[in-house]
Structure 1
Amino acid sequence: MNAAEQAINLKTASKIAAIVNLFKSEFPDAKSDLKPWANDADTRELVDPESIDLSFNFPGWSRRLQSRCILLQIRFHQDPETALRRAIGVEAAGFTHEGKQWTLSTIEDWNFAGDKHPTPEICDRLREFCRKVLLVFNEDVEAQER
């Protein structure tokens, strides 16, 4: 679901802002988009209500990133017994005018898939960014579990 729609309280809005700032600290040229999904019936059918989705657009195609836009989806699961909502993973995908070039999922093996991948240095930076995203969204959950 679009990040702008998920920012329903100060805590969530602050965490989304923190994610944007983390990404921009790694990639200063990026412009954030908190509403990457169109608001039409077909798109709404595909949107996961248990996610926060945002994208980052670059001024042009980046050879190092092998993309012009990165779509980020932070996936959540709410434990029915404790009612705690935990970030379970981050899905990222890099796009150019030719479509999706690569994907990264922290839910499985943290490896990149696709025809074209970012440079090894950028891959490491993106993995580190995803690790920080999970920390930002799970710091409250971990504190409650202690």
Structure 2
Amino acid sequence: MNASEQATNLELASKIATVVNLFKFEFPDAKSDLKPWKNDPETRELVDPDSIDIGFHFPGISKSWRSRSVLIQIRFYQDPVNNSRRAIGIEIAAFDHRGEAWRLSTIDKWSIVGTSIPSPHIEDKLKQICRQILDVFNKPAD
């Protein structure tokens, strides 16, 4: 679900801003998009209400990224027993003019798969950002 729609309180808005800042700190040329999904019936059917989705767009196509846009989906699980909500993983999909170029999932092996994967340097930075994002959402409130 669009990050702009998930920012329903100050704590969530602050965490979403932290994610944007973490990404932009490593990749300052990226432009954030808190509404990466269109608001039409077909798209709404595909959107996961248990995720926070943030898009990032780059000027041109980077040789190290091998893409033009990146969608970060932070996946959550609501535990019905203790009513807690926690981030369980992150999916990152990168797109170029042909469609999806590559995908990284922290759910299983933390590996990048696709037709045109980014450089090892970018891969390392992305994995570090994923670890930081999981910390942001799963750290107990002070």
TM-score, normalised on structure 1? 0.95
Deviation at 1:34, TM superposition (A): 0.2
Which sections of structure 1, spanning at least 5 residues, go unmatched?
none
Kindly report which structure 2 residues correspond to 1:46-125, keeping only aligned pairs within 5 A, or say none. 46-125=46-125
Report the identity percentage: 60
* Distance (whole Å) between structure 2 residues aligned to residue 50 and residue 87 of structure 1: 9
* Distance (whole Å) between structure 1 residues aligned to residue 46 and residue 101 of structure 2: 20
**Which residue of structure 2 aligns with residue 138 of structure 1?**
138
Total equivalences in the alignment: 142
**Which residue of structure 1 aligns with residue 36 of structure 2?**
36
Deviation at 1:32, TM superposition (A): 0.2
Deviation at 1:98, TM superposition (A): 1.0
**Which residue of structure 1 aligns with residue 129 of structure 2?**
129
Aligned amino acid, residue 49 of structure 1: P
Aligned amino acid, residue 131 of structure 1: R
**Which residue of structure 1 aligns with residue 12 of structure 2?**
12
* Distance (whole Å) between structure 1 residues aligned to residue 16 and residue 118 of structure 2: 24
* Distance (whole Å) between structure 2 residues aligned to residue 112 and residue 42 of structure 1: 28
Query: Counterpart of 2:94 in 1: which secondary structure?
Result: strand
Deviation at 1:108, TM superposition (A): 0.6
Deviation at 1:40, TM superposition (A): 0.3
* Superposed CA offset, 1:32-63 (max 9, x none): 00000000000000000000001000011011
* Distance (whole Å) between structure 1 residues aligned to residue 118 and residue 105 of structure 2: 14
Deviation at 1:140, TM superposition (A): 2.1
The Cα RMSD (Å) is 1.0
Q: Runs of 4+ in structure 1 displaced over 3 angstroms? A: none
* Superposed CA offset, 1:58-113 (max 9, x none): 01101101111000100000111111100000000111111100000000100001
